[in-house]
Structure 1
Amino acid sequence: MPHLKHLLLLSCIGLSPACIDVPPIENPPKENPADPDADFTFTAAPVQEQVLPGGTLDCNVQLAWTDTTGGAITWSLMSPPAGIELQASTLPKGETRATLSIRVGTSTAPGPYTLTLQAKSGTVTKQATLTVTVGKPGDLVVNWVVPTPGKAYTRGPLLLQFTVEGGTADNVEILKDTTVLVKPTGNPYSFTWDTTHEAEGTYQLSVRATRGGAVFTSAPRTVIVDRTAPTVASFLPAKDAATVGVHDAIQVTFSEPMNPLSVTEAAVGLKTGTGDAIPKSVALSADGRTLTVTPLSALTAPSTVQVDLTATTSALTDLAGNAATTPLTWSFSVPTWLPVGGALSAVEGKTSAEDVILKMDRNDQPVLAWVESDGLNKNVYVARWTGSTWSMLGTGLSGLAGAGTDAVKPTLTISPQNQPVVAWTEKSGNGREQILFLRQWTGDAWAVLPSAPLTTGSTQYPSSPSLAFDTNGNLFLHVCESSDNNGLVQGFSLPPSGSAWADLHPAQPSTHYHAASISVAASGNNFFTAYSTYDDTTSLRSIAVLPNNGAPLGGITLGAKAYTPSVAVDASLQPWVAWAQSDTAEPNTDGQIYWSRWNGSTWTSPLNISVNSTGNSRPSFALGTGAPHILVWSGVINTERSIFVSQWVGDSWQTLDPQLNALAAQNTPAFSPSVAMNSAAQPFIAWIEADANAASIYTVRINR
C-alpha cells in the first residue's frame, strides 16, 4: 500500500492525455537584490545609563531606509575607550530593530563616556552617539526601567520602575523635584504614582539610593502631568473655504503634540459631500502637532469635501491620553475654477479695463495686456503673474501725447527669451486715422520696435493687429489695413534684432472685401490667419483662414454674417476656428457662436455651440495635448451676461458648469474673455466684469 500512489500515477502514463493534468513547474520568485548604496538613518538608545565595571550595556537600535532597501547592517564602535567593546553584531537584511551588547571591562576607569556607534551597509555608513557613566567598583548604580529617557506624559496613574545594582541599599527614595515622593522596597523596584491629585505641570523624578552614608542617584526623568484636552488651533483648508485646489494640502494643527499611536487611517474620515469615502493616507508631523491627510488621488472638482476626526470610537489623543475636543469636523469646496489673484486694475478709482488678452509665458505664468483710461487717455497695460501676485510691467504704454489719443485692442505674444511683446493701434485725432505701435519688454523697460510699413491717414488706418513668433525667433505681425473702400490683410516678419519688416504678401483673394478682426495661431513655423470678410462670391460676411499667408484653406469661407474669429492649431497642425454670427451685426444682441475645424482636406460643417444662451460674442480658442480643448465666449442667460466654457471631450463639446462670474451681485456683466493653456494643457481664462462703478479684469485657472 505505501506505493499505491506511485502505481496510480504510473498507470496514467501512456493513457489519454486527459488522464492527469500536471501543472507547469514555475521558478520561485526572485528576491530583489539589495542596493549596496541605499541610504538610511538609525537611532540608538542605551537601556541603562549607568553600568559597573565588568557589566554589559544594552543598546536598542532602530533602522529606517530612506528610499530603497539595502542589505545587512554591521555595527561597530569608533575608537572605543580602553576596556569598552561591542560584541560582534549584524542586523540581517529585512530587519530594522536590534539590541546590541557593549561590554565594559573590569579595569575600565570610572566616569562618563560618549560612545560613537557606526552602522554600515555596503558603501554607506552612518553614526550616532550615546552616553554612559561607568561607576566605581563597589558602588551602587541606579537605572530607570520606566519611564524611558525623554518626557513622560500622564493624566492618571504612572508606573515607575528602576533597578539598583552592585549591592544592597540601606535606603531607596523616589524624589519628585526635591521632595521625597515615596520609599519603595524590593528589587527591581516598582511604584504606581497616582497623579490625579497633582497639579498639572512638569516634574523631575530621580531615584536616590544610600549605603553606608554614600549617596547614589539615577539620571533624572521628566514627567508632564496633563489633564487638559487638546484643541484644534487651525484647519487647512479653512472651514467652509470655497476655493480649494484638487492638490491642496489638508491639515489640522493641534494646540499640543498628539499621540502618534492614536493617529490612524481609521481615526480620520475623508469623504465627499454625498458621503462617499475618499481613499487617503494620514501622517503626523515630527513635532506631533500637525496632522496631514493626503488623498491617494486628486480631489474631484467640483465637489464638497468633509474631514472627520471622529470617524471611530478610538479618539485622537495627546501624549497624556486626553481626547481632542470638538469641533473635529470641517468641510470645504473644490470648485472647477480657481482664482488667479483678485480683481486687477491698473488705475485706482472708477476706471474701466477693456480688451484684455491672455498669453502664457515660457515659465507657464499668465501674462495680460489690456486698455484702461488714466482719466485723460486710454493706455495699454501689461501684467505678469509671479505665482502669488500680479506684477505690472512698467507703466501705461502710449505712443502719442495729448488728450483723446486712445489705445485700441492690444495684442500680445511672448518672445523665445520670455519677453512680452505688445502691439496696439492708437487714435491720432486726425479723422479715422490710427497708428500702430510695437513694444518689447527688456526686463526693466519697454523698448520700441521698428515701425511696420503701413499707410496711415484720415481715411486709411491699421486695425486688429496680431503677433506671433516662429521657432527661429522671427516676429510675425498681421494687421488689417482699412479704408472707407476696403480692408486688406497685411503680414510682415521681423528677424531677431532686425531693423526692417519683410512683407509676407498674404494671399487674400480679390473677392474678399473689408477684412477685419484678425486672429493668428502659430505652431512651430506654421501660421494660420483667420479674419472676417465680405465674400463677394457668396454675398456674405464670412470667415477665411490663410495657411502660411497662402490662399484660403479649402478655397471657401465659413459662416454667414460672421464676426470676431478665433483660430487655434491642434497637435496635428490642423486649425480650428470659432466666430460670432449675428443677423444685426451686433453679436452682443443676437450673436451665436459657431465653430469648424479643418480635417486635412475639408472644413467640417459649421455648428452652433451656444444654443442655450443669447447675445453671444467674442469667442476664444485654446487647444491642448492630452487634455480637452477649450472654447470660451460671453453670453446671456436669465438677463445676466457671463463667461461660458466648453471643452472638447470625445467628439463633442461639453459645457463646463457653472458659467464664470467673479461678482455675485446681479447686473455685473462679464465679457471679452481670453483663454490660453500652459504646457500641461491646463487652461487659464481672463475676462472683464463690470459693477456699478468700473470694470476690472478677473483670471481663473482650471482646478485639476
Structure 2
Amino acid sequence: MELMLPSRFYLALLMLLLTCACIQIPELGPGASPDAGSVDARPVLLNWTSPAANSITNGTLRIQVEVTGPEPDRVELLVDGAAVETLESPYALDWETWRFAEGAHVLVVRALRNEQVFLSAERNVVVDRTLPRQIGQTPVNGASEVPIQTPIQVTFSESLNPATVNGQSVQLMTDTGPLAAEVLLSADGRTLTLSPASPLPVNARVRVVMANTVVDLAGNRLEALSQDWAWFVPAYLQWGEPQFVGRFEESSIGDTSLRVGMDALPIVGWAQDGSVHVKRWNGEGWEYLGGPMKSGATPAAWGNSLQVNADGRPMVAWLEYSSVLSQSQVHVRGWNGSAWAPMGTVMTTSLAQSGIPWMGFTSRAQALPVVAWHEENASQAQVVFRQWDGSNWVAKAAPLPMKRGATINYLGFDLDASERPVVSFRQFESSTGDVGRVMQWNGTSWTEISTGLGLLPVTRVMGRDGSVLVGGTALVNGAWTGLVRKWDGGAWVTVGEPLAGIAGGTSRTVDAIAQDSQGALIVLVTEAPSATQTGSRIGQTRRWTGTQWESLGEVLKPGPGKVLWGLPDFALAGDDEPLVSWNEKVDPAETYMSAIHVYRLNH
C-alpha cells in the first residue's frame, strides 16, 4: 500500500535540503579563468613598455605594451585618435614614423573584447627629421678681426643630445693641431660654449670642429654646413673701419699721419684727391674734424703731418702747389674745437723758383710747434725751419744746407731737450752710395754728428737725458737688419743687439721709434715678407728693457689679398699701448684701391 504524504511536507523537505547544501562561489581575479559558458567581465589592462614618455624620434619607434586580464580580440595603435597599426602578441611593433608629419603626436593603444573597448594612457611622441643647424655664432664664420678674448659660442636651432657633446666630439683647432678647451652645453641643450685653457694664438686661423656623432634629441646629425666654422685671430686689430674717401675702387692714398690726443684717443690724417683729411676716434667710430681741407678750388694738397699742441688740440700741416703763383706753399691749421683755423699766413720758399719735395711738423708738449721743409732750385738746396710764436711763423734756426743734386730720403727732424732741431736723412750719390747723416743745431750753427753712425736713418727721437736716438737699417753680417743707435754727446753706441728678423723676411729696418711714459724705447721693426714680396711689409713692436729687445705682441700683417706699403706712422696711447697707422693696398699693389688702417695690439 502506497503511503501518500501531503504536499506541505515535500515543500518543507526541499527547503531544508537547500539550506544544508549551499555552494560558495569565489570572485574571479584579473588572471583567473571563469567556468566554461560564463561571461568574463574583467577589464583588459594596457601598460606601456615602450616608448618612454615624451620620446623624440626621427625614424622607426618601438611600440610595446604589457596586456593583463582577459585576452583581447584585437589590439591597435592609435595616433592622434586614428588607428594606424595592429599589435599582435606579444603586442609590439616597429612604428615607421616617416609616413607621419613632423611634430608632436599623441599615442594610445586600444584593446577590443566582446564589444568592449579598453584604452591605455596617452603617450606623447615628437617626430623630428629636421637636421639641427647653427643659427648664431660668436665669432661669426669667416670673421677676420677677432679679439683674443672673444667668447666662443654657438646657438643651435634645437636642443642637442648632451650625451653626444664632449671634448672628443667638439674640438677647438688651428692649422697646427687642437687647442685645449672646456666644452659646455647649456641646460636647454641649444647653446654650446668653448672656453680655451689659454689665450687664442694670433695670426692663426681658429676653428671649431664638430664630429658627425653630435646629434639632436631625435638622433639627427648636424647639418653639414654647421659642423665646421672658422675665423682669423690677427696680432693687431683694426681700430674702427679703414679710412678713405669716395669709392674704394678709385681710392689712391699716400703716407699717413697718426697722433694721440689728450683724451688718449687716436687722430689720423692723410691726403687724398687733392685734399687733406683728419678724423678723430670718438669712442665708437671715426668722425671728421671739419671735413676735407685745401686752400681753394684749384690747388691740390698733398703730404700731411699731424701734431698735438700743449692744450691737446690737433694741428695739421700740408703742402700745396699754386699754379697761379707758380710756387710751393706750406699750410698749417689748428683745431679750435669746432673748426680748422689758419695758423698765420701761408709759408712759401725762401729760394727763388724752388719747389718743396718734403715738409715736416713737430712739437714738444712744452714747446711751440715747428715746421720745416726741404726746398730746392736749379742751383741750391736747403732745409728751412719756422716756429710758431703764437701769431706768426718765425725763423727757428739758420737754413740747413743740403747738397744740390743728391737724392735725399727719409728726411725728418725733432727737437732736442734744448728745443733745438736735430735732422736725420739719407743722402745718395752715385759716387758714394747711400750715406746716413745727422745734423744738430747748436744755437748758432749746424754741427754734423754723423761720424760713426753706422746705419741708414729712417726715424729719430730725442731721449729725456738729452741724447739723440736714431733708428734705421744697417748691414750686419751681409744682411740688412734693424738697428737703433744713441748719440751720447761724443760717440754713437748701439742700443742692444741688432733687432732680429720678424718672420724670416728681408730688408729689415726700424721704421718708427718712441718713448713710453717711463722713458723706455719702443720701436716698430718692419721687413719685406720675402725676397719675392718686396712690395709689401710686415711689422712688430718691441720694447727695450735695458738689457734686450722684447716683443710686444706678434707680427702685424696685411689682411688677406692686401699689402702694407709706404712708411707707417706710430704713436703710443695713454696706457703706452702702441698704435700704428699704415696704408693697405689691394694685392698686387696697383695705383688705386688703398685705405688707411689704424691698428692696435690684440691682447
Q: Is the TM-score greater than 0.5?
A: yes
Rounded to whole Å, the distance in 1 between the matches of 2:535 and 2:365 is 34
1:532 aligns with 2:423: yes
**Partner of residue 305, structure 1:** 206
Alignment counterpart, residue 440 of structure 1, candidates 329, 335, 340: 335
Q: Any conservation in 2 of the 1:514–1:533 contact (CA below 8 Å)?
A: no
Q: CA offset at residue 368 of structure 1? A: 1.7
Rounded to whole Å, the distance in 1 between the matches of 2:436 and 2:399 is 11
Q: CA offset at residue 224 of structure 1? A: 2.0
With normalisation by structure 2, the TM-score equals 0.61
**Partner of residue 33, structure 2:** none
1:385-416, Cα deviation, whole Å (9 max, x unpaired):
57786544443111x22534534332243886
Letter in 2 for 1:670: W
1:403 aligns with 2:298: yes
Rounded to whole Å, the distance in 1 between the matches of 2:440 and 2:123 is 85
Letter in 1 for 2:233: V
Q: Any conservation in 2 of the 1:280–1:295 contact (CA below 8 Å)?
A: yes
**Partner of residue 592, structure 2:** 694
Q: Any conservation in 1 of the 2:105–2:127 contact (CA below 8 Å)?
A: no
Q: CA offset at residue 299 of structure 1? A: 0.5
Letter in 1 for 2:369: L
Rounded to whole Å, the distance in 2 between the matches of 1:476 and 1:688 is 29
Rounded to whole Å, the distance in 2 between the matches of 1:372 and 1:638 is 31
Q: CA offset at residue 357 of structure 1? A: 0.8
What SS is found at the alignment partner of 1:686?
strand
Q: Any conservation in 1 of the 2:526–2:540 contact (CA below 8 Å)?
A: no
Alignment counterpart, residue 480 of structure 1, candidates 369, 372, 388: 372
**Partner of residue 596, structure 1:** 485
Report matched runs for 1:359-398 at 5 Å.
359-361=259-261, 366-373=266-273, 378-384=274-280, 390-398=286-294
Residues 414 and 487 (structure 1), Cα distance of their counterparts in 2 relative to 1, 3 Å cut: closer
Rounded to whole Å, the distance in 1 between the matches of 2:300 and 2:220 is 72
What SS is found at the alignment partner of 1:292?
strand
Q: CA offset at residue 318 of structure 1? A: 1.5
**Partner of residue 413, structure 2:** 518
1:621 aligns with 2:513: yes
Residues 455 and 159 (structure 1), Cα distance of their counterparts in 2 relative to 1, 3 Å cut: same
**Partner of residue 437, structure 2:** 541
Report matched runs for 1:34-433 at 5 Å.
153-155=56-58, 177=80, 196-197=96-97, 199-203=100-104, 205=106, 223-232=125-134, 237=139, 243-275=145-177, 277-284=178-185, 288-310=189-211, 315-324=213-222, 326=224, 328-339=227-238, 344-348=243-247, 350=250, 352-361=252-261, 366-373=266-273, 378-384=274-280, 390-398=286-294, 400-401=295-296, 403-413=298-308, 420-428=314-322, 430=325, 433=328
**Partner of residue 671, structure 1:** 566
Residues 321 and 617 (structure 1), Cα distance of their counterparts in 2 relative to 1, 3 Å cut: closer
What SS is found at the alignment partner of 2:132?
coil
Residues 467 and 220 (structure 1), Cα distance of their counterparts in 2 relative to 1, 3 Å cut: farther
Report matched runs for 1:637-648 at 5 Å.
638=531, 640-648=534-542
Q: CA offset at residue 193 of structure 1? A: 10
Alignment counterpart, residue 559 of structure 1, candidates 453, 456, 459: 453
Q: CA offset at residue 370 of structure 1? A: 1.0
Q: CA offset at residue 284 of structure 1? A: 3.5
Q: Any conservation in 1 of the 2:131–2:220 contact (CA below 8 Å)?
A: yes
What SS is found at the alignment partner of 2:306?
strand
Q: Any conservation in 2 of the 1:688–1:695 contact (CA below 8 Å)?
A: no
**Two-structure CA RMSD over aligned residues (Å):** 5.7
Rounded to whole Å, the distance in 2 between the matches of 1:287 and 1:316 is 15
1:445-498, Cα deviation, whole Å (9 max, x unpaired):
52315428x97555399941224646xxxx84122276767545454476xxxx
Rounded to whole Å, the distance in 1 between the matches of 2:146 and 2:129 is 36
User: Rg: which structure is higher?
Assistant: 2
**Partner of residue 70, structure 1:** none
Q: CA offset at residue 281 of structure 1? A: 2.4
Q: Any conservation in 1 of the 2:506–2:531 contact (CA below 8 Å)?
A: no
Letter in 2 for 1:459: L
Q: Any conservation in 2 of the 1:233–1:254 contact (CA below 8 Å)?
A: yes
What SS is found at the alignment partner of 2:150?
coil
Letter in 1 for 2:270: W
1:47-99, Cα deviation, whole Å (9 max, x unpaired):
xxxxxxxxxxxxxxxxxxxxxxxxxxxxxxxxxxxxxxxxxxxxxxxxxxxxx
Q: Any conservation in 1 of the 2:424–2:459 contact (CA below 8 Å)?
A: no
Residues 632 and 255 (structure 1), Cα distance of their counterparts in 2 relative to 1, 3 Å cut: same
Letter in 1 for 2:269: A
Rounded to whole Å, the distance in 1 between the matches of 2:488 and 2:64 is 82
Letter in 1 for 2:531: N
Rounded to whole Å, the distance in 2 between the matches of 1:332 and 1:529 is 50
Letter in 2 for 1:203: A
Alignment counterpart, residue 605 of structure 1, candidates 494, 500, 504: 494
Q: Any conservation in 1 of the 2:471–2:482 contact (CA below 8 Å)?
A: yes
Rounded to whole Å, the distance in 2 between the matches of 1:257 and 1:575 is 66
Q: CA offset at residue 324 of structure 1? A: 3.2
1:546-570, Cα deviation, whole Å (9 max, x unpaired):
9xx999999999837965534277x
Structure 1: gaps spanning 5 or more residues: 1-143, 162-172, 183-190, 209-216, 495-499, 584-589
Structure 2: gaps spanning 5 or more residues: 1-47, 66-75, 86-90, 110-118, 404-410, 427-434
Report matched runs for 1:488-499 at 5 Å.
489-492=385-388
Rounded to whole Å, the distance in 1 between the matches of 2:521 and 2:204 is 20
The number of aligned residues is 489
Q: Any conservation in 2 of the 1:355–1:410 contact (CA below 8 Å)?
A: no
Letter in 2 for 1:320: A
Letter in 1 for 2:569: S
1:8-36, Cα deviation, whole Å (9 max, x unpaired):
xxxxxxxxxxxxxxxxxxxxxxxxxxxxx
Residues 321 and 592 (structure 1), Cα distance of their counterparts in 2 relative to 1, 3 Å cut: closer
- % same residue: 22
Q: Any conservation in 2 of the 1:303–1:333 contact (CA below 8 Å)?
A: yes
Q: Any conservation in 2 of the 1:642–1:659 contact (CA below 8 Å)?
A: no
Rounded to whole Å, the distance in 2 between the matches of 1:180 and 1:599 is 100
With normalisation by structure 1, the TM-score equals 0.53
**Partner of residue 44, structure 2:** none
Rounded to whole Å, the distance in 2 between the matches of 1:458 and 1:552 is 18
Q: Any conservation in 1 of the 2:472–2:509 contact (CA below 8 Å)?
A: yes
1:571-618, Cα deviation, whole Å (9 max, x unpaired):
x888783345799xxxxxx99864235789986337865999887788
Residues 322 and 368 (structure 1), Cα distance of their counterparts in 2 relative to 1, 3 Å cut: same
Letter in 2 for 1:406: A
Rounded to whole Å, the distance in 1 between the matches of 2:196 and 2:121 is 45
1:233-259, Cα deviation, whole Å (9 max, x unpaired):
566556666554423343344342223
Q: Any conservation in 2 of the 1:642–1:670 contact (CA below 8 Å)?
A: yes
Letter in 2 for 1:295: P
What SS is found at the alignment partner of 1:410?
strand
**Partner of residue 116, structure 2:** none
What SS is found at the alignment partner of 2:493?
coil
